[in-house]
């Protein structure tokens, strides 16, 4: 039978989502397993392989799987290793030959992996908003800020396999916020879901401007979004500020690789109504005239629950 | 006879330098013509073709020229056009099909062009300090700051052919210096030869610290270099500041494309003794731990008078 299907797997700190995907990007079977209880890599890979075999059987896909693509934090495309993934308990921060381990458990079906943002870029290029584009930059706005850079139709991996850490480029040079990476002022300390909540909390602390956010014990980005929806002036300014910071950095990114578009994805990208205008304004004010009003800002059209699986599956078509 | 030679041409505002080059990077004949007197593109291209035919005859290279590579401001690799080159009088800021015009005058020998910094990157990769490297960023420190980005062994041209304007990424966000491009705070307003002189003049104005530079009517980067050589404290701090600004931005560039090295070339790169240490320090302090102390800083080893011709000639081997 023709090998007309692939498997996409999105591995995160809490769960691993897997799906059997056809060439049109339909997920014909899917499953989710927890990654929290596994304490060793072997037990996690075994549990994952078992889950995959179940959805392969379910979708009558035996013998039809061309390859398996995995989006995983700290995944190195070149080596198939997961390196220093401190957020994956079973990986224990070490270096694991994850692709090789999974391939062995899956009877030799080839496995390719990369980090989640690169997988998202592949997904947009294969099935989503970047279809037909050869040069674009994918920015994922979630807990942090991830990025996948596509040049000439190919994801940029760089010398060591880890290119595209745009969330850690410098947004604020002096007195910037402390980032988990150890630096200060990184883009993701401002322009992620976490960053939005942090901005709101900082600003509430710094003035006594009235805001509906003051009544909350804990402020998350969703609260800021809801407040902005209701016209809360402080919440609206938080998004304007966030959009400006993003737009300023996007201008630098454009000057690097002259992309056709910047594609936004992730939880925070759902605040499009508040982010799009300030991003475009700052991006066009800060880029050289050559690219002013020429680079598109595109919001992902993939369903969020499917996008991670689709992105990872797109890797497998190249195998 | 085998087509075993190429021609490299470096076109600038004052002169066009051309050379016949062999596969080992030897310039076996060369010539320089002035570009200042030509008022039309036709007359310039005719004069250039005449000069080329002369060195071809001189080096007995008739029939052996495989192609012609041109490094030229605002040259678009994709289209062979020179677009809005305000510094080339004969181009008059318009859009010229330069590659096509030259090819016609040269009996159909294929012509390829790109901007000068991209040509420099090709030169370093083919004959120079980046031989064997597949991922590096070329930074030219001259009157301005130019850049050529190489990923997977290929120069990045981007969606429109103009990628790699790193001299116009933002070095100073607030109250930055006015740049010729219309923006403020661009890297090249600080980290070019012009920028170094500007920093020295600003600092002399802002304090009454003694400095040998005070005795000069006009301060150029060469004067600052000479003063630093003699131990002038202000001049030394100017280079330290310049190096820091470069290193801070290099950290951002590394986070984009994870290069093996950053390669420096151009007049200001000759101040290596004063720039290398502050660049390395700032670069490693500002990059995420993954790349700390891992990315090389390389100074071009090509002879400056040859490098531009060699860089352009490297383009022609791909034809």
ipTM of this model? 0.92
Q: Are A242 and A192 in contact (CB under 8 A)?
A: no
Q: Any CB–CB contact under 8 A between A293 and chain B? A: no
pLDDT given for residue B319 in this prediction: 80
Q: Any CB–CB contact under 8 A between B166 and chain A? A: yes
Cβ-nearest to B288 among A168, A259, A289? A168
A248 CB neighbours in chain B (<8 A) are 170, 173
pLDDT given for residue B3 in this prediction: 87
Q: Any CB–CB contact under 8 A between B173 and chain A? A: yes
pLDDT given for residue B89 in this prediction: 82
| Cα distance between residue B70 and residue B78, in whole Å | 13
pLDDT in tens, A235-290: 999 999 999 999 999 999 999 999 999 999 999 999 999 999 999 999 999 999 99
Cβ-nearest to B288 among A158, A183, A290? A183
| Cα distance between residue A47 and residue A50, in whole Å | 5
Judged against a pLDDT cut of 90, whether residue A3 lies above it is answered with no
Q: Are B180 and B173 in contact (CB under 8 A)?
A: no
Q: How many CB atoms lie within 10 A of CB B57?
A: 11
Strand order in the sheet with B95-96: B75-76, B81-83, B95-96
Q: Are B252 and B137 in contact (CB under 8 A)?
A: no
Across the interface, whether the CB atoms of A170 and B248 are under 8 A apart is answered yes
| Cα distance between residue A29 and residue A18, in whole Å | 8
Q: Any CB–CB contact under 8 A between A290 and chain B? A: yes
| Cα distance between residue A98 and residue B129, in whole Å | 36
| Cα distance between residue B160 and residue B77, in whole Å | 9
Mean pLDDT by 10 residues, chain B (319 residues): 90 92 94 86 94 96 96 93 84 88 96 93 93 96 94 96 96 96 96 97 96 96 98 98 98 98 95 98 96 97 85 91
pLDDT in tens, A93-152: 789 999 999 999 999 999 999 998 999 999 999 999 999 999 999 999 998 999 999 999
* Nearest residue in chain A measured CA to CA from B285: A183
Residue A304's pLDDT band (cuts 50, 70, 90):
confident
Describe the crossing of helices B272-286 and B233-257 by its angle, rounded to 10 degrees.
50
Across the interface, whether the CB atoms of A290 and B256 are under 8 A apart is answered no
Q: Which among B191, B189, B170, B185 is positioned nearest to B274, based on CA atoms? A: B191
Q: Any CB–CB contact under 8 A between A159 and chain B? A: yes
A230–chain B nearest CA distance, Å: 32
Which of B288, B293, B294, B295 best probes binding to A when mutated, by most A CB atoms within 10 angstroms? B288
Which of A125, A288, A293 best probes binding to B when mutated, by most B CB atoms within 10 angstroms? A288
* pTM of the predicted structure, to 2 decimals: 0.93
Residue A255: partners with Cβ closer than 8 Å, 6 or more residues away: A287, A288, A291, B164, B165, B166, B168, B169
Q: Any CB–CB contact under 8 A between B162 and chain A? A: yes
* Nearest residue in chain A measured CA to CA from B136: A159
Residue A1's pLDDT band (cuts 50, 70, 90):
low
B134 alpha carbon, distance to own chain's centre: 19
- Kindly tell me the sign of the dihedral angle through the C-alpha atoms of B284, B278, B194, B8: negative
A152 CB neighbours in chain B (<8 A) are 154
Q: Any CB–CB contact under 8 A between A286 and chain B? A: yes
Across the interface, whether the CB atoms of A258 and B288 are under 8 A apart is answered no
pLDDT given for residue B202 in this prediction: 97
pLDDT given for residue B303 in this prediction: 83
| Cα distance between residue A212 and residue A214, in whole Å | 5
pLDDT given for residue B1 in this prediction: 61
């Amino acid at each position: 039978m023709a090998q007309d299907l692939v498997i996409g797997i999105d591995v995160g700190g809490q769960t691993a989502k897997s799906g059997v995907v056809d060439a049109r990007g339909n997920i014909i079977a899917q499953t989710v397993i927890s990654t929290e209880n596994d304490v060793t890599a072997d037990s996690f890979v075994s549990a994952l392989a078992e889950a995959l075999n179940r959805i392969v059987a379910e979708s009558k896909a035996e013998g039809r799987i061309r390859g398996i693509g995995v989006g995983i934090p700290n995944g190195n495309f070149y080596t198939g290793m997961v390196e220093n993934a401190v957020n994956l308990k079973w990986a224990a921060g070490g270096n694991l030959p994850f692709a090789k381990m999974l391939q062995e458990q899956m009877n030799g079906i080839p496995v390719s992996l990369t980090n989640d943002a690169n997988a998202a870029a592949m997904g947009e290029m294969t099935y989503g908003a970047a279809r037909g584009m050869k040069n674009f930059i994918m920015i994922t706005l979630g807990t942090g800020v991830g990025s996948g850079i596509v040049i000439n139709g190919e994801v940029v991996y760089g010398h060591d396999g880890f290119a595209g850490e745009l969330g850690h480029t410098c947004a604020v040079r002096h007195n910037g916020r402390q980032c988990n990476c150890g630096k200060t002022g990184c883009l993701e300390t401002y322009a992620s879901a976490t960053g939005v909540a942090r901005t709101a909390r900082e600003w509430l602390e710094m003035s006594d401007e009235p805001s509906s956010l003051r009544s909350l014990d804990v402020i998350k980005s969703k609260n800021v979004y809801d407040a902005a929806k209701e016209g809360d002036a402080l919440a609206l300014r938080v998004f304007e500020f966030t959009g400006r910071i993003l737009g300023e950095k996007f201008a630098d990114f454009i000057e690097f690789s002259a992309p056709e578009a910047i594609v936004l994805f992730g939880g925070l990208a759902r605040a499009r109504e508040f982010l799009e205008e300030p991003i475009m304004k700052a991006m066009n004010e800060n880029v050289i005239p050559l690219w002013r009003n020429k680079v598109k800002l595109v919001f992902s059209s993939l369903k969020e629950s499917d996008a991670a699986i689709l992105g990872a599956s797109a890797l497998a078509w190249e195998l």
